A and B are shown apart, each in its own frame.
Chain A
Amino acid sequence: MSAAQSSGVKSAARTVAFAARSGENASRMKSARRFFVRHPGVVRLGIVILIFIAWEIAARWFMDPLFIAPPSRVFTSLGAVLGTSGVPAALRLTFFELTVAFVIAVVVGLVIGLAIGLQPFARRSLMPIVLLVYGLPQITILPLFILGFGIGAASKIAFGVTHGVFPIVITVVAGVQNLKPILLVSARSMGASRWQLLRWVIFPHMIPSFFAGMRLGMSGVLLGVLLAELYVSTAGIGYFTQMFTENFDPTKLFGLIAMLAAMAIILNELVRRAENRFSRWR
């Protein structure tokens, strides 16, 4: 049975259950219960808040303050973290590395993906190599990146690019592959030039998979840059996470990591929004 059919069955079952429930006598307990059933988001938020409260209690009274900080203190220390000399510059540097690596990965991935994807022979002979390299543990060659590009921003950008470029290549190739041959043939028989073909047929059809690739590429770039930052760093966030760890200053460490997590979430969300927006045309 197809997914659409089964979801139809599900929604029918839901309607029946809902009708049965709404027919019941609405005492206060029941209406509260119904509210929660209809708003799982509220319950989700409640669970997250409960986790934070448990963490607060544990960190305040039961655990060693050298190793864990309660969330309230982390939150109030965010200002102090930003005030630590060098931290704003480190955050800016990391953001810069992420952006540059992402742009390079997208451009290179798109070019390689188109070059491989548009040639059936190149696709069959080179794709296995791309997939093979993509499956290798790149983290083992991180020391080589440091030797080759130094301990500055260049090695982080390079490592981010190699993490981000493969998912983009693979999804672009898959997107080109899914193009219906009849569209290409009919456009060509109507006299479309190579450029027109690319601009009006191939490109619009590739957009959804291209944005899916960008999303995967973004998480790859985040992973690569952050790994390289944590491995060795002289001015980036890797330097500060190490310093806060060595000084047993968990409050600032948690604060800095919270800021980075926020940065990662925002970047991921931006790419995801763009994906939703640009794949709607079909």
Chain B
Amino acid sequence: MARRSEKARQLASRAVQIGFLLVLLLLWYVATNFWGVNRLLLPNPVDVWEQLKDVLRTGNYLPDLRVTATEFVVAFLLSTTTGTVIGYFVSRSRFWTRVFEPLFAGIFSIPIILFLPLYVLFFGLGLESKIALGTTISFFPIVLATIAGFSNVDRTLITAARSMGASNWLLFRYVLLPGALPVIFGGLRIGFTICLLSILGSETIASLAGLGHHIVELAEDMEMSRMFAYITFVVVMVAVLNAVVSHLEARGRRHG
């Protein structure tokens, strides 16, 4: 009986969620079609849908997607390798942890996007400045999570493994790594999200190509329904990527 009412309540909250989104869409439709909201501020949802189909069919998004994806992949790989390697070596000594951890945490609390003009000045408007900025921004959560992960591995486990004669490699492979991995995965997930966001952001602010750049270009040409179509495309893509990464993180935590 209790289970049934639990199920009914779950259904009710699902219904509210779907209803909420439907009402939002309906409001959008009514506002643009009948209430005379300026089309330059809010295009008609039907137009946006048509444009979205057009964008997807013609493959118009491919060159920009390629640029953004390249920037993102390079930046995330760079920050993952540097972050985990530096984090591991810092975490091996309690002294260096106490030296570096507050330093990294302090820098992480500054909005690094502030330095974007410096990156643009130094690396130019092309891919390099986005890669450099994305790497810098996602380095900090990854390195902090790696330090936290390795230094929170239970000391008694390490001592026990050592006293049973584990070599450095065995200690790393069977004690340190499994203990630290869940925390590191958390850091990688945060790094993933903010790396993607900072790359889209820096493309929006100053760039020559990429999805963020394309959206700004459409805004400047006042092609609102196509711009909304692009925004929908990017938002859905990022939401799907986030969901996939969350899922991977949850799996990694269980198996790590």
Interface residues of A (CB under 8 A from B): 1, 3, 6, 9-10, 13-14, 37, 40, 43-44, 47-48, 67-68, 121, 124-126, 128-129, 132, 135-137, 139-144, 146-148, 219, 222-223, 226-227, 230-231, 241-242, 244-245, 248, 250, 253-254, 257, 260-261, 264-265, 268
Contacts and interface: CB of A to CB of B under 8 A. Distances in A.
Contacts, number: 137
B21 to A, nearest CB: 8
Q: Which of B193, B201, B235 has the most C-beta atoms of chain A within 10 angstroms of its own C-beta?
A: B201
B120 A245 contact: yes
Contact of B234 (A135, A137, A144, A222): A137
A230 B113 contact: yes
Contact of B196 (A137, A226, A248): A137
Contact of A142 (B98, B111, B204, B234): B204
Contacts of A253: 117-118, 121
Given A6-B155, A13-B155, A140-B212, A254 B118 contact: yes
B33 interface: no
Contacts of B103: 44, 47-48
A9 to B, nearest CB: 5
A124 B7 CA distance: 13
The main secondary structure of chain A at its interface with chain B is: helix
A101 to B, nearest CB: 13
B41 A264 contact: no
B231 A265 contact: no
A139 B110 contact: no
Interface of B: 9-10, 12-14, 16-17, 20-21, 40-41, 94-95, 98-100, 102-103, 109-111, 113-118, 120-122, 152, 154-156, 193, 196-197, 200-201, 204-206, 211-212, 215-216, 219, 227, 230-231, 234-235, 238-239, 242
11 contacts: A47-B103, A121-B12, A125-B20, A126-B20, A135-B239, A141-B231, A144-B41, A148-B41, A227-B201, A230-B205, A242-B117
Given A121-B9, A140-B231, A254-B118, 19 more contacts: A6-B152, A6-B154, A40-B95, A40-B98, A44-B99, A44-B103, A67-B122, A126-B16, A126-B20, A129-B17, A139-B201, A140-B234, A140-B235, A143-B219, A148-B41, A226-B111, A226-B113, A257-B115, A261-B114
